[in-house]
Amino acid sequence: MARKITLSFLAGTMMLALAGCGYSPGERAVTGGALGAGAGAGVAAISGGRPLTGALIGGGAGALGGALTAP
C-alpha cells in the first residue's frame, strides 16, 4: 500500500512539474494532457485499476493544469 501511494505521489509530482512545459497555454495543455494520460494509465495499472480510466482522468487533469499555469 505504501508503495502505491509513493508511486502515485511521484507520478503526480512529475506531471505537475512537466505540465508547465511550453510557451502558450495551448502547448502546455497538450503537453500536460499527454503526460497526465501516461501517468494516469501507469498509476491505474500499478494500483490494479483500469488504465483507460486512469488515462482519461490523468489527461484531463494534466491538460487543465497545463492550460492554467503561467509560462
Residue pLDDT, tens place only, 48-62? 888 899 899 999 998
52 lies in some domain: yes
Task: Determine the pLDDT at residue 56.
Answer: 92
Exposure letters 6-20 (e unless 16+ CB within 10 A, then b): eebeebbeebbebbe
What pLDDT digit, counting tens, does each position of 17-27 carry? 665 567 788 88
34 lies in some domain: yes
Q: Residue 62 in contact with residue 33, Cβ under 8 Å?
A: yes
50 lies in some domain: yes
CA separation for the pair 66, 49 (Å, rounded): 25
Task: Determine the pLDDT at residue 70.
Answer: 74
11 lies in some domain: no
Range of the domain at 41: 24-71
16 lies in some domain: no
51 lies in some domain: yes
User: What is the number of structural domains in the chain?
Assistant: 1
Task: Determine the pLDDT at residue 16.
Answer: 67
46 lies in some domain: yes
